[in-house]
Amino acid sequence: MIATLKFTTLLLAVVVCWATQDYGYKDVEEPTLGDSQYGSLWPLPQKVQMSTVAFKLSGASFQIVDAKESSSGASCSLLQNAYRRYDEYIFPISRMQGQNKKKAFASDVSELQVWITSADSECDSYPSVTSDESYELSVDSPVAVLKAPKVWGALRGLETFSQLVYDDEYGAKSINRTEIQDFPRFAHRGLLLDTSRHFLPIKVILANLEAMAWNKFNVFHWHIVDDHSFPYMSRTFPQLSQQGAYHPYTHVYTPSDVKMIIEFARLRGIRVVSEFDTPGHTQSWGKGQKDLLTPCYSGTSPSGSFGPVNPILNTTYDFMTMFFKEVSTVFPDAYIHLGGDEVDFSCWKSNPDIQKFMAQQGFGTDYSKLESFYIQRCVASVRHGLKVKQMISNSLKSNTVVHVWMGNKFEEELQKVTGAGFTTILSAPWYLDYISYGQDWQRYYKVEPLSFNGTDAQKKLVVGGEACLWGEFVDATNLTPRLWPRASAVGERLWSDKDVKDTNDAYSRLIQHRCRMVQRGIPAEPLFTGYCAHEYKGV
């Protein structure tokens, strides 16, 4: 009798719980889960032919080696580094436990030969927007061959190879006979991380660079400073981080930190594009650099607060010239992102000296002309600049790239910006800091960057895009799971063919890709209910 009563209570509790779970559930669009004919490949290569002929791989006898014909030679440390990395990804358990080599079975595929085909492998170069990332992969027995003109394609191909390896039903490493020809659809596939609103420890940045490589991203857009803090330690102006960082020693990136991040990224074929946003978003700069910011007025006297960079002082441009000279030597990439968005004109308007300058220049009351004046003088001191959409009315240098961010109507913006002849990168639909209930990866996935009205010539000007994770609500505790696998959706959109848009197929591959990231040590969040064979074990 008592037992029955207990049972009833339990049942009631279950029903109540069920009812609660139903709340807010309507928005979830649940794709059908089946097996993809492409296994767990992510992003999907341009051309894949996979067979059901399966080969065994043994950690004891399988090796990744330079092909004899390869132009890279054995001295290419970028490749040697990558071989070691991928060997560990492919055989995580056996390598960790130091499995006895003698005991293991022989591999059907004994070698992956990596063959760099062009005379200059670019082993010691930095990747750029024109880097060749194409490769061809042929998996057969007894050898698999990865051919690429440059090391950049070899890196992408090694990742693809590692994604082809799976555990068969007995847990043995297997790989199917496969032919792949691959290259990216867009040359610029970026991820923006924000280290100003919250400081991100080096370890977190490196872990995410690693995850970027798994998703074939090739640009780390480092939004390094902003209003909130100035963690970049400048050699020329050390007081900027002394005064402007959250903490002058523990919350800064030293020159050697920056160097290490750039090299770590290079070894994975990732560019580091630094952003130093001006004239707005510069409160933290003002702490360490006297007279850089515009004093705001309340009536006829200074209010004690400061606005954007002061565009009417020659000292401003002297400072910017020296500062960006340093930045362009620290960051080897050809591009520096100059921000330039969301300038609040109210402080400029309040300042009588600025008003006088406006009148002298004949700007009337159009403060966007003052902004343009600043940007043009500033750009003159920087090699190349990436700039935001608001700046398109300016006569910018031809080597300027316009970055379209914010706004719901990105198609209209792209139409305008490319219509004006600017090379463009897109971020507006990929603000990963906006979170919502359900599978929002699908929303990012379904974006078609070239859906705007424009000529073929205009569409060619869109060189890629960036997923952005702004840092208001993000630090080391939640960055990685918030980013992955949501950013993976953008990764495939920017790499794979435009016709790769079957959400059900993507869902099946992405679930496995996410579990692979988890197995490789990244706490990538789940897409929905389910499990991974190797769950996240914590740090």
Ligand X SMILES: *[C@@H]1O[C@H](CO)[C@@H](O)[C@H](O)[C@H]1NC(C)=O
Closer residue to ligand X (CB): 10 or 54: 54
CA-based end-to-end distance of the chain: 48
Interaction residues for ligand X, span 421-440 (CB under 6 A): none
Stretch binding ligand X (CB under 6 A), from 149-157, 335-343, 366-374, 445-453 = 445-453
Task: Write down the least CB distance from residue 451 to ligand X, Å.
Answer: 6
Task: Write down the least CB distance from residue 52 to ligand X, Å.
Answer: 3
Q: Is 342 a catalytic residue?
A: yes
Closer residue to ligand X (CB): 177 or 221: 177
Stretch binding ligand X (CB under 6 A), from 73-81, 269-277, 323-331, 451-459 = 451-459
Q: Rounded CA gap, 89 and 64, in Å?
A: 12
Which H or E element spans position 316?
helix 314-330
Q: Which residues pair with 188 in a beta bridge?
A: 464
* CB neighbours of residue 225 within 10 Å: 29
Contact 379, 331 (CB under 8 A): no
Task: Write down the least CB distance from residue 318 to ligand X, Å.
Answer: 9
Closer residue to ligand X (CB): 36 or 117: 36
Task: Write down the least CB distance from residue 80 to ligand X, Å.
Answer: 30
Stretch binding ligand X (CB under 6 A), from 50-58, 108-116, 266-274, 278-286 = 50-58
Q: Does 52 bind ligand X (CB under 6 A)?
A: yes
How many residues touch ligand X under the rule CB under 6 A: the total is 10
Contact 538, 232 (CB under 8 A): no
Angle at 237 between CA 232 and CA 239, to 5 degrees: 80
What residue has token string 């990436």? Answer: 386
Lookup: tokens for 134:
């194409």
Residue 105 is given by DSSP the state: P
Q: Does 321 bind ligand X (CB under 6 A)?
A: no
* CB neighbours of residue 126 within 10 Å: 18
Among 39, 286, 307, 340, binds ligand X (CB under 6 A): 39
Task: Write down the least CB distance from residue 487 to ligand X, Å.
Answer: 24
Q: Rounded CA gap, 262 and 328, in Å?
A: 13
Among 9, 77, 453, 504, binds ligand X (CB under 6 A): 453
Closer residue to ligand X (CB): 77 or 453: 453
Which H or E element spans position 293?
strand 293-298
Task: Write down the least CB distance from residue 234 to ligand X, Å.
Answer: 24
Closer residue to ligand X (CB): 28 or 54: 54
Contact 175, 112 (CB under 8 A): no
Closer residue to ligand X (CB): 85 or 416: 416
Task: Write down the least CB distance from residue 39 to ligand X, Å.
Answer: 3
Burial-class residue 453 by CB neighbours within 10 Å (0-12, 13-18, 19+).
exposed
Among 11, 54, 172, 435, binds ligand X (CB under 6 A): 54
Q: Does 176 bind ligand X (CB under 6 A)?
A: yes
| Three-state secondary-structure class, residue 385 | strand
φ/ψ of residue 56, rounded to 5: -90, 145
Site string for ligand X, 325-364 (x = CB under 6 A): ----------------------------------------
Among 230, 430, 452, 484, binds ligand X (CB under 6 A): 452
Q: Rounded CA gap, 244 and 285, in Å?
A: 6
Closer residue to ligand X (CB): 221 or 509: 509
Catalytic member of 263, 342, 412, 535? 342
Q: Rounded CA gap, 153 and 138, in Å?
A: 14
537 contacts: CB under 8 Å, gap ≥ 6: none
Closer residue to ligand X (CB): 353 or 475: 353
Q: Rounded CA gap, 169 and 264, in Å?
A: 36
Stretch binding ligand X (CB under 6 A), from 109-117, 232-240, 449-457, 490-498 = 449-457
Stretch binding ligand X (CB under 6 A), from 15-23, 48-56, 143-151, 271-279 = 48-56
| Three-state secondary-structure class, residue 444 | helix
CA gyration radius, the chain? 26
Site string for ligand X, 285-314 (x = CB under 6 A): -----------------------------x
Q: Rounded CA gap, 146 and 155, in Å?
A: 10
| Three-state secondary-structure class, residue 185 | coil
CA neighbours closer than 13 Å in the CB half-sphere of residue 39 = 24
- Outline where DSSP puts E strands in 155-287: 166-167, 173-182, 188-194, 219-223, 271-275
Stretch binding ligand X (CB under 6 A), from 231-239, 319-327, 340-348, 446-454 = 446-454
Task: Write down the least CB distance from residue 267 to ligand X, Å.
Answer: 29
Q: Rounded CA gap, 76 and 344, in Å?
A: 49
Stretch binding ligand X (CB under 6 A), from 4-12, 393-401, 450-458, 487-495 = 450-458
Residues near ligand X (CB under 6 A) = 39, 50, 52, 54, 176, 314, 411, 451-453
Q: Which residues are catalytic?
A: 342
